[in-house]
């Protein structure tokens, strides 16, 4: 549990740093949130899923996990899901890459400060 909390703190910190200091991160973050809100709204209205179920399905799809516990049932939903998957997977990977880069830059800066002190 301590490891989870530590990793969550690092993720949260990297997101805050990215929002404050990195324009590309802000754009990716905004696009990902926009597509996530749009897909959640779509599935909630078209598939009559709860907001939580629609959000869950959207995140599982964009992260390519896809448990299969929710499945689009209408042709419109299936077409939307195809388009959503193509758009969201790339954004999801790009944003996660930026988070990793920010985390590595923070660690590198910390190590350089430690070396300078010694």
For residue 46, what pLDDT is reported? 97
- 85 Cβ contact list (under 8 Å, min separation 6): 61, 62
Residue with the two structure tokens 């993720």: 11
Q: What is the mean pLDDT of residues 84-109?
A: 94
Q: What is the mean pLDDT of residues 73-77?
A: 96
Q: Count CB neighbours of 73 within 10 A.
A: 11
Number of domains in the chain: 1
- Cα–Cα dist 9/5, whole Å: 6
Tokens at 21, concatenated: 């200091």
Query: Is 116 inside any structural domain?
Result: no
Query: Is 1 inside any structural domain?
Result: no
pLDDT mean across residues, the chain: 94
- 42 Cβ contact list (under 8 Å, min separation 6): 54, 77, 80
49's torsion region: left (phi>0), alpha (psi -120 to 50) or beta?
Answer: beta
- Cα–Cα dist 91/103, whole Å: 18
Q: What is the mean pLDDT of residues 61-88?
A: 95
Band (pLDDT 50/70/90 cuts) for residue 118 is confident
Query: Is 96 inside any structural domain?
Result: yes
CATH of the domain at 62: 1.10.287.70
Q: What is the mean pLDDT of residues 13-41?
A: 95
Reply yes or no on whether the pLDDT at 78 is more than 80.
yes
- Give tens-digit pLDDT for 42-68: 999 999 999 999 999 999 999 999 898
Query: Is 8 inside any structural domain?
Result: no
Tokens at 84, concatenated: 């959503």
Reply yes or no on whether the pLDDT at 20 is more than 80.
yes
Query: Is 6 inside any structural domain?
Result: no
Query: Is 34 inside any structural domain?
Result: yes
Domain encompassing residue 85 = 13-106
Q: What is the DSSP letter of 118?
A: -
Reply yes or no on whether the pLDDT at 76 is more than 80.
yes
């Amino acid at each position: 549990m301590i490891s989870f909390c530590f990793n969550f703190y690092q993720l949260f910190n990297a997101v805050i740093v990215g929002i404050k200091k990195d324009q590309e991160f802000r754009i990716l973050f905004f696009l990902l949130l926009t597509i996530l809100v749009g897909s959640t709204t779509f599935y909630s209205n078209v598939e009559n899923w709860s907001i939580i179920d629609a959000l869950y399905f959207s995140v599982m799809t964009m992260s390519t996990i896809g448990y299969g516990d929710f499945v689009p049932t209408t042709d419109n939903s299936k077409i939307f899901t195809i388009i959503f998957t193509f758009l969201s997977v790339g954004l999801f990977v790009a944003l996660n890459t930026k988070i990793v880069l920010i985390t590595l830059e923070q660690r590198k800066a910390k190590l350089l400060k430690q070396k300078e002190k010694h």
